[in-house]
Amino acid sequence: MCTALWSSRRLRHTLGYMTTPRPLRFIRRGRTVQLHGIAPDRTLLEILREDLGATGTKEGCGEGDCGACTVVLGEARQGRMHYQAVNSCIRLAHSIDGMALWTVEDLAHDPLIRPASDPKGSALHPVQEALVQCHGSQCGFCTPGFAMSLFGLYQNEVCQNRGITRTQAAEALSGNLCRCTGYRPILDAAQQMQQLPRVQVDETALLQQLELLALTPQALEADFSYISPATLPDLLAARAAHPDAQLVAGATDLGLWITKQHRRFPRLLDVTRAAELTGVAEHDGQLTLGAAVSLTDAFSALQARWPQLHRFAARFAGLPVRNSGTLGGNVANGSPIGDSMPLLIALGAQVELASTRGSRRMPLEDFYTGYRQNQLAADELLTFIHLPLPTPDQGLADQRLAAYKVSKRFDDDISAVCLAIQLRIEGQTITQARIGAGGVAATPARARQTEAALTGQPWTAATAERAAAVLQAEFNPISDMRASGAYRREVLGALVRRFWRETRGGAETPALERMQPLTLEATP
């Protein structure tokens, strides 16, 4: 980067702030890094390249799509280290305060990464060695990102004495794009690295460092421009005191506003540090997900109750985006092409909104009032998402659930149409139907007319055909770069037929070969 560009970028982050950014502290290469004067809206990629000289981390797309900027974050969870690959180009720098960080340079230079047996070992980390042996790099621009995604996979799986399948490797690398290799040698490397001599992070030493960092006194945050309260009451109080502050969770959307729209945010309120919002709980027949639970952890909780959702969850963005993004952020953002909301609507989700004045709940489909508009008051936050779990008597009924995503690319792509269907069938009769749809209206929507057409009817091919026709007439989708309105309507009807075919089967079901031009995946 030329000096003039570097200077101008730094300058835009140092002017115009009425408040002071809190010092940023994290662990890297076995020591505490402390940076002062980091503006609240600077990205992690910026400080890595411009402040720390870690230029191995690349900027490709600047929007979390290509994965060239991937780094790995580590944090303590229940006394163990947890590793996650994230996109540094859209991750805000202050969001990693108190964590451990690894870039591609650190694989060979972190003193806490040590051989499990041979103290001498190889000069290369097993991730690097496997990429070399399998010829997993050509032009090399994307290679650091692939290496870091593989490092996260290595620490979470290989170092926990679990093997890596081809499918696991593909899912772990879903957020990394390469235009040279065709991916086969990189997938080969993912499996080869587990065969090499073990090298792993000294977690005992790292946990001690993170604990000491957490205990180091910090000034109160009231006057800082990046506010990250550690409890829900403090978070609600901060929201009441600063209703003009921009909310930030995983920054997977806000990061694009910074990198692509060049918007500035002099004060940010981070919701992800409130402990109450990061948990998953089951009580009183409900599954409750905190709004700050990552998309990765949220879908893990959903899959534990509804295993058929795995393939759908794996296609929700790339893994680095799911690791950073939060379920509450996705819901509150309210994009009509967001993938979580149709599924949550089909599952009967309710959202809980809270402020210092109290809390209230409503069905998710009633939360949206227009395009990217919702029911939140200026001093309110979305705090929890509640999902009803099947009761014992409901377990006697036939519950059918599927979620479908139609997009032009299999991995790491935005939906043209997203559809989730849940039916309760007693005997041969549909007693309850819930359908959530995305990409077909100004907001994520519930298909109430189609639900009415299904309820009380036998689950037959004829019923599916009638429901398909009703669903096609219920929405009037627009045409855009992802699909035409006519195509979207056609897809809606075909997905209902597909749902019938998957849940009942039969020769009478119309063929779906016409759906093949666009990537179509569904839960089995």
Q: Is the pLDDT reported for residue 515 higher than 50?
A: no
φ/ψ of residue 80, rounded to 5: -125, 155
Q: Amino acid identity, residue 268?
A: L
At 410, the pLDDT band (50, 70, 90 cuts) reads confident
pLDDT score of 318: 92
Average pLDDT value for residue range 372-385: 96
Pairing of the two strands 519-522 and 445-446: unpaired
- Is residue 13 pLDDT above 70, yes or no? no
Buried b (16+ CB within 10 A) or exposed e, 44-61: bbbbbbbbeebebbbbbb
Q: How many Cβ atoms sit within 10 Å of the Cβ of residue 430? A: 23
- Non-local (6+) Cβ contacts of 256 within 8 A are 63, 64, 90
pLDDT tens sequence across 300-310: 999 999 999 99
Residue 304 has phi, psi (to 5 degrees) of -65, -30
Q: Are the beta carbons of 415 and 406 closer than 8 angstroms?
A: yes
pLDDT of residue 219: 56
Q: What is the pLDDT, as a whole number, of residue 395?
A: 52
What value does the mean pLDDT take over residues 72-84? 95
Report how far apart, in Å, the C-alpha atoms of 513 and of each of 407, 417, 505 are: 16, 18, 16
Its pTM stands at 0.89
Do residues 334 and 413 make contact, with C-beta atoms less than 8 angstroms apart? no
From the list 369, 276, 388, the residue with the least C-alpha distance to 328 is 276
Per the model's pLDDT, the better-predicted residue between 461 and 510 turns out to be 461
> Measured between alpha carbons, how far is 208 from 211 in angstroms, rounded to an integer?
5
What domains can you pick out in the chain, each with its CATH number? 19-107+215-270 (3.10.20.30), 113-201 (1.10.150.120), 279-522 (3.30.390.50)
For residue 392, count CB atoms less than 10 angstroms from its CB and return exposed for 0-12, middle for 13-18, buried for 19 or more: exposed
Residue whose entry in the numeric block shows the structure tokens 């666009």: 518
- Return the H-helix or E-strand segment holding 402: strand 398-407
Lowest mean pLDDT across 14-28, 97-111, 355-369: 14-28
> For residue 176, which of 326, 323, 329, 74 has the smallest C-alpha distance?
323
Dig out the tokens for 314 from the structure.
């794996």
Q: What is the mean pLDDT of residues 481-488?
A: 94
Specify the length of the chain in residues: 524
Q: Is 4 exposed, middle or buried (0-12, 13-18, 19+ CB in 10 A)?
A: exposed
**pLDDT higher at 216 or 344:** 344
List, in sequence order, the alpha helices (H) in 21-105: 44-46
Per-residue pLDDT band at 85 (split at 50, 70, 90): very high
More confident residue, 391 or 240: 240
Contacts of 476 (CB under 8 A, 6+ apart): 441, 485
pLDDT at 444 over 60: yes
Residue 181's pLDDT band (cuts 50, 70, 90):
confident
Q: Is 479's pLDDT higher than 90?
A: yes
Q: What's the chain's average pLDDT?
A: 89
Residues above pLDDT 90, as percent of the chain: 80
Report residue 123's pLDDT band, with 50, 70 and 90 as the boundaries.
confident
In SS3 terms, 282-331 reads as: EECCEEEEECCCEHHHHHHHHHHHCHHHHHHHHCCCCHHHHHHCEHHHHH
pLDDT band (50, 70, 90) for residue 22: confident
Q: Strand runs (DSSP E) across 78-192, as ranges?
A: 80-87, 100-102, 113-115
Percent of the chain, pLDDT > 70? 88
pLDDT at 359 over 60: yes
| pLDDT higher than threshold 80 for residue 163 | yes
Cα(299)–Cα(344) distance, integer angstroms:
11
Give the H/E segment covering residue 152.
helix 143-156
Three-state secondary-structure class, residue 204: helix
CB 67 within 8 A of CB 175: yes
Residue 297 burial (CB count, 10 A): 22
When pLDDT is averaged across residues 314-335 and rounded to a whole number, the result is: 94
Q: What whole-number distance in Å separates Cα of residue 73 and Cα of residue 281?
A: 25
Hey, is 478 helix, strand or coil? coil
